[in-house]
Structure 1
């Protein structure tokens, strides 16, 4: 006769069975986890305040944006839970009461009346779509339990909110809000919230652009069945919602700063939300202004614009061109295009010359016909004004004085300074820096040119513009400690035709009317505008003053009014012991070798006038108020040139005449 099992064996067997079942379920759960591949949304680019600037679709062209409960108004969440899953916060992923009710209705009616699915089960179905069968329902139940074991209730709700269909290629309530109402979902009213919740049930049958009557009926039914006081909408709000029409067309998805958004999206992870330094309101204003100004320009012209804060160098608005207009090469980011700056770089040349003591703002310069070897520059107006101060020569953008300054400062030295300031001149292959650099004889970009002007308003500090927030770093090195403020002050002039006061600005036009520029700065911002054809061909009659300057004045008028103020650029003190007016012999330089024949112009800078020039100790007759003198070498040999100022300070150099 068999013996009964030992006392307690049955209990231990149940424990072992339960443990084995738990181990099996755990193994299956780890071997077959929920598939979250569809959860990868598109890429979103945000402004400095976290507002949506631009969106890019997920793979397959689906507009799917990450959506969390915090992104939506509370009345929408309350309406969703009341309509779809009132016990969502309490059940473990499956609601036995709802399933029992659905099964009873199915048996009594002979068809599916309600699915009995919880929001967790719906989230599982959205992650892994399947045919609507009993087997699929069983799989959804298992997946729902898995989701509940892995995620919080808000995280599960976020899955539903991100994947809920909204008609066509729209998924998720944020995508639905942008597409059907053209604004952020946090701003939706009761009627709009009800439409999005209803759309998730039957997205194609209720698309408001195709079936507006059905969409309105479904929305109103949802509002009607939600009794006032349920927490999502008041009676007055519900009555007002009934009178609200449904949208009959899709709105474009957010697409501000499209060139920058496309650049930032390259290499970004799916679902990335990329924060930038741009300001959405200013970006929208800049794009609208650009499109408006283009209407008055040549059919093949394009416009690019950059606005940044001077001290931080953070870009607040960036218009790369007329995006989407094929005839204007809208896909190109023209803020990065390498073009000739014309006279727009002259302020930096003058600042370098002032800093080096080659000239001062009050220095008299000659705007007269002159040949620099084989190079004979002319003014844009084809005439000359004679003797003029360096400050006025810069204001009037005269070419001869600028070339003369570069001749004294040195073309190679100027090119090196441009490179150190973040704007390396792009020369033709094999070309060396030469005097045409003064008039835009090398390529640059709009971003680099705007950064040069920011230098003028930031105490002479050189730093690049940025589009992504960066942690505070050590302030950049001072390049032009004194002259930056002087040049910025020279450029403060009223805008022709009116505009905000206190803005320092300069225009430029490249040879043949290929590029028109206008760049300016005030106490807080720096901005630049470029106009031209993307293919670089000339535009007859194009000038920076006529085409770009009005847009520059308009964008400065749109900048925040507070704490804007007229430009009062600070100057950084010069290093101790470096006198701003020290006497220097500019020409000849030490060790110079000159060819015999013809006069030589000796030039000095700094010092207190009158000046005396001597060759081998013998004074040369000249006008002592001037800083130059003509000397004719008597023949080949070595000579010592010296200059003395009124304080007895001397500077000199030895040269050879062959």
Structure 2
């Protein structure tokens, strides 16, 4: 009967215990969700750049069992839980042995906690009481019920305390040793196996002697159980425990914050950043800091345009400098781009066949609207080519082209490839091309990739998980030509060819009021973005792209080229596409002519894309004025060379190429309409011959020297005009003074302190110009 009762109890009690455990497990689930997440941002080589701790300041670096050496797991399990794979969470023999040792020695000699019990205490902390111990045992059983041995062991190596605010061997290895846990030596593995027993007392950076004694205890245990050979243990014992002072990861802070916000659920984010390059760029920024004006900052962005991965990211000159708003990321801030949008306009116009590389543009005063910008040097240069206008960043030719291409069309094209142009009212207008809009550096640099990626644009890639998504902006030929122009590469002479490795191509920009100084560069492998200015948008007089940003661009370019040489890596090439050829074109028509043709006034060697050779562009306001249109006109002349009607005796046809009338004040005398168009033979005049009289300034002579009367601080002169047509616009030193109708006189008052040479320019409604220089003494 007793035997039956014993058998019944032996069966019933475990069953009841199991049922009770299942009920308790359902009522008191494991508090795994209470583990607070942390984030670590890695460089491409796996080195932590920045860490974001949890709300308690704890940092963890999650790893798997494959990320640690086998000998670390051997040391850990031998010292902490030899029967880890045999028990179900509780090792009763170990508990009894520990109790006996502690009682007989009258102090705590060893503990009986298994790995599972230690994980239980980590995820559900409790007081060191009898109730707390039972709670720990219950949690250990729960862990074994819900998780595999590998999962429990993974929890331990990621949650074990290592002193201070460090949890897990991943964070400990990077914090104490500055390397990945997979690179631990046997000595370091033995040390890291024992530190969690007393993390504050055994910190190797503070107490190396205590840490070494604890490590040697692990080695003794490994030798006792013959896990490692005696030779290996003897060799390991010779290594001293000596740790460098801990260095918290502090690299690319603004990029790290950006990635953390983009991927909030990821605990480990591996970026595409080149760690050595990032260090070099941040050091360089700090060196430039003292050369900048107070409260000024800078930003540097480096992108490998072969795959659009971000390799360097410096969002401010000094993250810790509050006076310079160092925590404001200027790479993702909206700022005026100055002239940095001009290459896109020329590229789009080239793509559409509106221009070629040497098309004739007009750098002359504007009269057709209230928007009258000036060049940076406040001067006018008359006839200029596309390449010259882009290289010199002239404003008025860009405005001429923007009017013809269309501001709305231009804006939508750039928006379509991710370059958002933002303004106060978001109404596209021609001022956009000169910086009357806001852009972000990351989007701007991405868009510049079109000139290195055969016309394709792809968003920047901050992690390798982000796909490379190309979208076409312009054709291959147009992209190649614009890059050649920006690289200051001349059109080769006959039987010459361009180097397929294109040197640094770059474009500067300066916003209104000197608020933003830009330089965007394209070298054989990298896109480089540089911005200098005050984050609060305050003007900085004398700060402009060439002076402030280009030196930084050139220094970054040197660092990148030296890096290529040190890696012994070939530079990417950009050979001339088959769609591009060289042609001899002539001004003023812009067409392909022989140099002996009398209509070829000036011959240029041009890049031609897809065999499109468009004629010279007019100003928008002149397209409706047939009387003053440029291009080629047909006239009839007699034997004396005089202009006659077509039905006159002996009349022969003649084609004459005319320059745009706005350029009359800048071209040679032999190129003007007055010279090119012969006078009329009054005996047989041409029908509709209504050429206007030339426009002249009266009231002052060329190179006249003006002096004030004694005791007078001002000089007064009366100006008028002769000839010309319609409304007249008067400019003094590039600034519009007044507007007059027909031959109307007006008075000008000058200050005697404005000594030196002055430029007086008169422009009429037909586009005729007269210009006089005078001096004040």
- Give the TM-score category using the shorter length: 0.7 to 0.9
Change (3 A) 1:92 1:554: farther
- 1:544 partnered with 2:545: yes
Q: In the aligned structure 1, how far is the partner of 2:181 from the partner of 2:410?
A: 53
Residue in structure 2 matched with residue 145 of structure 1 by the alignment = 141
Higher RCO, 1 vs 2 (CA within 8 Å, ≥6 residues apart): 1
Q: In the aligned structure 2, how far is the partner of 1:503 from the partner of 1:583?
A: 29
1:275 deviation in Å? Answer: 4.1
Residue in structure 2 matched with residue 309 of structure 1 by the alignment = 304
Change (3 A) 1:72 1:255: farther
Question: RMSD of the TM alignment (CA)?
Answer: 4.0
Residue in structure 2 matched with residue 234 of structure 1 by the alignment = 232
Question: Number of residues paired by the alignment?
Answer: 608
Q: In the aligned structure 2, how far is the partner of 1:528 from the partner of 1:37?
A: 43
Q: Is the 8 A contact 1:40 1:271 kept in 2?
A: no
Please list the CA deviations of residues 45-101 of structure 1 after superposition, one character each: whole Å capped at 9, or x if unmatched.
344565534321122221123233323333333322232223323333222332221
Q: Is the 8 A contact 2:459 2:469 kept in 1?
A: no
- 1:65 partnered with 2:65: no
Q: Is the 8 A contact 1:39 1:163 kept in 2?
A: no
Residue in structure 2 matched with residue 35 of structure 1 by the alignment = 31
Q: In the aligned structure 2, how far is the partner of 1:600 from the partner of 1:178?
A: 78
Structure 2 length-normalised TM: 0.69
Task: Map residues 38-437 of structure 1 onto 2, 5 A cutoff.
Answer: 38-48=34-44, 51-208=47-204, 210-211=206-207, 213-219=209-215, 222=218, 226-227=222-223, 230-231=227-228, 234-235=232-233, 237-242=235-240, 244-247=241-244, 249-252=245-248, 254-266=249-261, 272-321=267-316, 322-368=318-364, 371=367, 373-429=369-425, 432-434=428-430, 436-437=431-432
Q: 1:602 aligns with which of 629, 637, 645?
A: 629
Q: 2:657 aligns with which of 614, 617, 624?
A: 624
Task: Map residues 495-574 of structure 1 onto 2, 5 A cutoff.
Answer: 502-559=503-560, 561=564, 563-565=569-571, 567-568=573-574, 571=577
Change (3 A) 1:236 1:438: farther
1:21 deviation in Å? Answer: 4.1
Change (3 A) 1:13 1:156: closer
Give structure 2 stretches of 5+ with no counterpart: 490-500, 581-608, 637-644, 647-651, 665-672, 674-687, 692-777
Change (3 A) 1:566 1:175: closer
Structure 1 length-normalised TM: 0.80
- 1:456 partnered with 2:451: yes
Q: Is the 8 A contact 2:62 2:267 kept in 1?
A: no
Q: In the aligned structure 1, how far is the partner of 2:110 from the partner of 2:8?
A: 43
Q: In the aligned structure 1, how far is the partner of 2:374 from the partner of 2:151?
A: 69
Q: In the aligned structure 2, how far is the partner of 1:453 from the partner of 1:163?
A: 46
Give structure 1 stretches of 5+ with no counterpart: 495-499, 605-609, 636-658
1:138 deviation in Å? Answer: 3.1
Q: Which has the higher strand share?
A: 2
Q: In the aligned structure 2, how far is the partner of 1:235 from the partner of 1:219?
A: 11
Q: Is the 8 A contact 2:403 2:620 kept in 1?
A: no
Q: Is the 8 A contact 2:351 2:474 kept in 1?
A: no
Change (3 A) 1:513 1:203: same
1:159 deviation in Å? Answer: 1.4
Q: Is the 8 A contact 2:219 2:233 kept in 1?
A: no
Residue in structure 2 matched with residue 489 of structure 1 by the alignment = 484
| SS of corresponding position for 1:531 | strand
Change (3 A) 1:476 1:375: closer
Change (3 A) 1:505 1:569: farther
Q: Is the 8 A contact 1:341 1:510 kept in 2?
A: yes
Q: Which has the larger radius of gyration?
A: 2
Q: In the aligned structure 1, how far is the partner of 2:635 from the partner of 2:451?
A: 35
Please list the CA deviations of residues 170-210 of structure 1 after superposition, one character each: whole Å capped at 9, or x if unmatched.
22222222332333333333454444334312122334555
Please list the CA deviations of residues 224-244 of structure 1 after superposition, one character each: whole Å capped at 9, or x if unmatched.
6654974399346524422x4
Q: Which moved more, 1:11-20 or 1:277-286?
A: 11-20
Q: In the aligned structure 2, how far is the partner of 1:592 from the partner of 1:382?
A: 27
